Structures are given as C-alpha cells and as structure tokens.
Structure 1
C-alpha cells in the first residue's frame, strides 16, 4: 500500500486534559534533541496510528535535511483520546490543537503543522481564533484534503454530477445524523461489504476512490469509534467556516494538497482555500481522492521537506532565514 516502511512503535508522552475533561493522547517520535518538530493532525474517524509511515520517513536522517522530531495525537473521541463533555464543533477542535501545539513546541524549536481533512480544519480554526500563541515558533503549515467551508459540497463538475453527489451526501448526512441510522451505517461500513465497490456510502462520505486497501483501513478505523460519535463529528464538520479569516497563515509558508477526484473536500474548495491564504502553494494530485495522505505518504513527506526549505532562517542542513516567534 505504501512505498514507506512502517514506523517504530509510538511512545505515549502524556495525556493533555482539556477544560471539559477530554483526555487528548499525545505521542512523540524520534530524537528529542532534533532541530525542528512536525506535528501531524489526523482527520475524521482516523487516528495518530495512520501517520506511522510518514513518521518513519520524517524521523530518519536524509541528506540535506535535519532529522525531525514528530508529534502526533488522537483527536478527542478517536484512538486513545476521550470524548469530553462539550458540544462538538470545529472551534473546539482548534482549541484542542492549541493545547497539543503548546506541548509539541515546549522545547522552543520551530514546528511545522500538517493536517488532513478535519485536522486541516482544526489548524484553520486555531489560526482564526488564536493567531498568537506565545512561545510557539510556527515554521510552516500543510493543509491536505481539507476545505475552507461548505464541507462536502461539490463546487465543480456538470450539473448532473453535482445533483448526483448532492443526493448521495444528503442521504449520508441524514443517516449519520440519526443515532439509530448511524449504527446501521456503522455496521455497513465496517462489515464484510466495506469494499468501496459494494459500499457506495464510502464514495458519498469520502469522495471518489478510495483504493481497496485504504477502504479496508478506513473500515478498521470506524470499528474503533462508537457509531454515535462518528455521527456527532460528521455534524460538527458542517460548522466549519473560516472564509475570509485566514490572514494569519500568510505569515508562514503554507502548502495545500488535494486529490483531483476528492468530492468531499473538492479541488474547487482547495482553490478557494489557497485564494484565502496569500502566498499559499496549491498542488492538485491526479487520480487521488480524499484519502490522499494515506495512499501517497511520500507526498506528505515531500511537503514537509519543501516547508523546511522555505523556512526563514534555516536549521542545520536546510537552505534558509527567522521563523516568527508567534503564530
């Protein structure tokens, strides 16, 4: 499934506790004395475990680049993190990220933040509501298969294609918003029929694709999350709207990746996101859907290395010039 080897076992650093009592599991990997850190934020129904191939590549020596320390975490209600008591919305996930980022940046070294889908939305929410984080040296941002607002909307294509996808999404949303129906969908997506060709809801929820092995990995991830939590997060995603408010991200190098076949966070959405962040670099990947970072992990690693090259005053082993002390 991937050109990269799986990583060494992750190590639990600590559990960060939020104001509403959620315990956010944070993991660290690699040399604690590394010159920079990459923080990886996973998407809906995924977990920190899905970043294993990326972490393995980023924490190994590579000529021309410093060895990085990698930090990953489980979003609340996912993996090893608990749900907490607060009403779920995307602003809440941005506040969670602020706590994790403070942990990741505790050594005072530069941090590059990478987010997939819901993780990318959490990064945006943080940039809007807490643009200044004392002590955090943000060196770069990668936003992968994510969007600015209107989650799941199809903003391009023929009228017939738009109507078809919109109908699929209305069905998916209606099912996922009902606890009873959510449990039925949960069984469908995680059962023996979870192959994308026999479970059209994969396409309705995640966009074109995914490849067979990625769909199976997604099914395994779904099994680990209660059906009602899956539904609750789906509703929370629809509250995301950062349009016109991402000026803070113009202060650091920002790169955006999207699959050409992604209809959950579409290429049209990615273009709007790039337009909202002056100086952002957009890359559209042919033939890929919403699971881009897991099917093409090398692209994520290359994005991190590109952000390292763009850092103002370089780290040992990079080209470079002074990262801002604040976000």
Structure 2
C-alpha cells in the first residue's frame, strides 16, 4: 500500500473519530442544556447552609466524627439521620428543614465523609460504621430515638442491629431504611444488558485500584466538575420526573466530588461484601419503614423487597418514578413517612 494511501486512510480514521467525539460532546452539551433550561423551583434553596450545634466525637480507633444537634432539646424523641456513600449529612437538607421545628435531630458525617476525619483503609467497613453509630447514639441521644439511614447509612443501621441488638426496643424506637440493601450489591446490573454489566463489573476493580493508588491525580480531574458528572448524577441518582431541579443535581454532584477518590475506593469492597440479611430480624422489635424509588438502579426495588420479607412487620413504601436519592427527589413523600414513623415510636414510648 502506498504511503499516500496509508496517510489518507489514517486521516479518514482520525477525522471520523474526531467527528464522533465532537458529536458526542455536542449531544452531551445539548442534554445538559435542556435540563438546565427547565424551570428550577429550587434555585434559591440554601443547600448546605443549614447548621445546628456542632459536636466532635472521637471513636475508639481515634477518628473524629463531625455531628450536629438541631431542633428542640426537650423533645421526647430524637431522630438520627445517617447519610449514604459519597454523600454527607447535608444530603438530609429537606428533612432537616421540615422537621427541625418539631423534632430533635442529630445529623452526622460518616467517617471519611463530609467534615469527619479520614480513617485507615482497613477501618473503612460497614461494621466499623455501626460502631460509630453506637457512639453517636450513646453520646448525643439522651432518650429514645428513631434511626433513619439512606443507602450506606441504612447498612450502618443494620450493622448496629447486628452488633447491639439490645438497643432496639428500648433506646431505638423506630427505623427508616431508604434506598438501601442487605447484601448482594456485587450482582447489580445498573439497568445494563447482562454482557455489558459483566464487562463493567470486571472493569470496576481496576478503576478502584487506580483511584486508591492515584487518588490525588484523579481528584484534580474531578475538582471543577463537568457535564459528564452532572449527567451521571442526574440519571443514576434521580428518576424520570421532569421536575428534578438542576440545582439539586449540582448539590449532590458537589458532595460526591468532595469525597476523595481514596475514600470511594476504600469503602467499595465493604459495600460489595455487605451481607446483613440475618441481622434484620432485630428490626421486627420496632416500627420499621422501608422507602425506595421504583426506578432505583443503585439499590433496586428487589433489595428493599428482600428487607421487607425479612422484616414482615415493616411498612414498604415504593415511590413511583423516583430513583436512588428519594429524600431529595421526593422529600414530601419521605417526610410524611418519617412523621408517621416518629408518631409510632412516640406512641410506643407512651
């Protein structure tokens, strides 16, 4: 083959690739632009600005846990809010905003997240999170409480139930589990075809290894945020509702971006190996509410149904069209369910 022809073919390939990349970039910008041009009723919402009385706790392995106490101190019952993987206590914005006038609230950043301190990789486990929650309850909850956990926060509550079952019924008067799982997360398809999902699962461990070894380099690429991150959060974290606020999506993306890559990598094995199905029987001793979006790809509806089967006394609420971040996507539904759960806990106390 002549040199001229070789160069011509190479140029055509490069040109086609460039055109494809440009088309993909234009499609991405178009998609983001369409979302951002929609009416945004939450544009003026003070996300990340709600604050309470700050408290620093120290765990048995020396990790500083940031917590905040909000609401009336003389409330008969405390609500403890446990956030999810790669998020922070600010992810409970709507619950804090709407419940703080009536109930005493405790929010806390799980180790390595938010304002809490980093821990050794070997201590980034679900069992360790359960011990941290026990500390929060012992130090910041003077009376009975209701525990609320989203995603990894729900797993934290399961770990507490396994390790400290005696707390449930006396100290813990109710539990709410939002968009979470008792195990088998390694089998998730994320809505992808079986073959694609298998390829993704094979690729993820290598990506996690890179994040652990080259975390600072990866984080520099994440610092500014980008359209890809925005779209990933929008379509993985939220459902089909056209009313999802771009401001809320940006708020979630900023929390994820603030989570160091090493932390994401350190907790990933714990999430994949998480298995607390046998611990769930403890929750039959207290009123339990399970809430999940019917379009949740990260902790699908079947995982909540499995929890409900293990806790037959629980009430399962499926939120139509919503996805993983139900507390931010449909706060009214979640808050109504939490108020009902709190009332049940207070009735049990009486």
Q: 1:156 to 1:56 in 2, by over 3 A?
A: closer
Partner of residue 146, structure 2: 112
Q: 1:87 to 1:73 in 2, by over 3 A?
A: same
Q: 1:183 to 1:13 in 2, by over 3 A?
A: closer
The counterpart of 2:98, out of the listed 57, 60, 68, is 57
Partner of residue 115, structure 2: 80
The counterpart of 1:92, out of the listed 122, 125, 128, is 128
1:200-241, Cα deviation, whole Å (9 max, x unpaired)? x8767x586795444422321123222111211222212310
Partner of residue 141, structure 1: 175
| Aligned length in residues | 303
Q: 1:168 to 1:92 in 2, by over 3 A?
A: same
Residues 152 and 263 of structure 1 are in contact (CA less than 8 Å); yes or no, is this contact kept in structure 2?
Answer: no
Q: 1:171 to 1:299 in 2, by over 3 A?
A: farther
| Matches of 2:234 and 2:311, distance apart in 1 | 30
The counterpart of 1:291, out of the listed 314, 325, 333, is 325
Structure 2: gaps of 5 or more residues: 1-39
Residues 262 and 290 of structure 1 are in contact (CA less than 8 Å); yes or no, is this contact kept in structure 2?
Answer: yes
- Deviation of 1:69 (Å): 0.5
1:264 is aligned to 2:304: no
| Matches of 2:309 and 2:341, distance apart in 1 | 19
Structure 1: gaps of 5 or more residues: 61-66, 315-319
**Structure 2 residue matching 1:271: 3-state secondary structure:** helix
Residues 52 and 68 of structure 2 are in contact (CA less than 8 Å); yes or no, is this contact kept in structure 1?
Answer: yes
Q: 1:190 to 1:301 in 2, by over 3 A?
A: farther
**Structure 2 residue matching 1:10: 3-state secondary structure:** coil
Partner of residue 31, structure 2: none
Q: 1:163 to 1:290 in 2, by over 3 A?
A: farther
The counterpart of 1:41, out of the listed 58, 61, 82, is 82
Q: Which has the larger radius of gyration?
A: 2
Residues 182 and 227 of structure 1 are in contact (CA less than 8 Å); yes or no, is this contact kept in structure 2?
Answer: yes
- Deviation of 1:129 (Å): 1.3
**Structure 2 residue matching 1:238: 3-state secondary structure:** helix
The counterpart of 1:176, out of the listed 204, 208, 214, is 208
1:71 is aligned to 2:112: no
Residues 83 and 152 of structure 2 are in contact (CA less than 8 Å); yes or no, is this contact kept in structure 1?
Answer: yes
Residues 190 and 298 of structure 2 are in contact (CA less than 8 Å); yes or no, is this contact kept in structure 1?
Answer: no
1:307 is aligned to 2:330: no
Q: Which has the higher helix share?
A: 2
Residues 153 and 265 of structure 1 are in contact (CA less than 8 Å); yes or no, is this contact kept in structure 2?
Answer: no
The counterpart of 1:241, out of the listed 247, 251, 275, is 275
1:79-120, Cα deviation, whole Å (9 max, x unpaired)? 1110233531111111111101112322x2x21110000000
Residues 154 and 162 of structure 1 are in contact (CA less than 8 Å); yes or no, is this contact kept in structure 2?
Answer: no
**Structure 2 residue matching 1:139: 3-state secondary structure:** strand
Residues 141 and 252 of structure 1 are in contact (CA less than 8 Å); yes or no, is this contact kept in structure 2?
Answer: yes
| Matches of 2:128 and 2:320, distance apart in 1 | 33
Q: 1:138 to 1:45 in 2, by over 3 A?
A: same
| Matches of 2:247 and 2:339, distance apart in 1 | 27
TM-score, normalized by length of structure 2? 0.76
Residues 194 and 216 of structure 1 are in contact (CA less than 8 Å); yes or no, is this contact kept in structure 2?
Answer: no
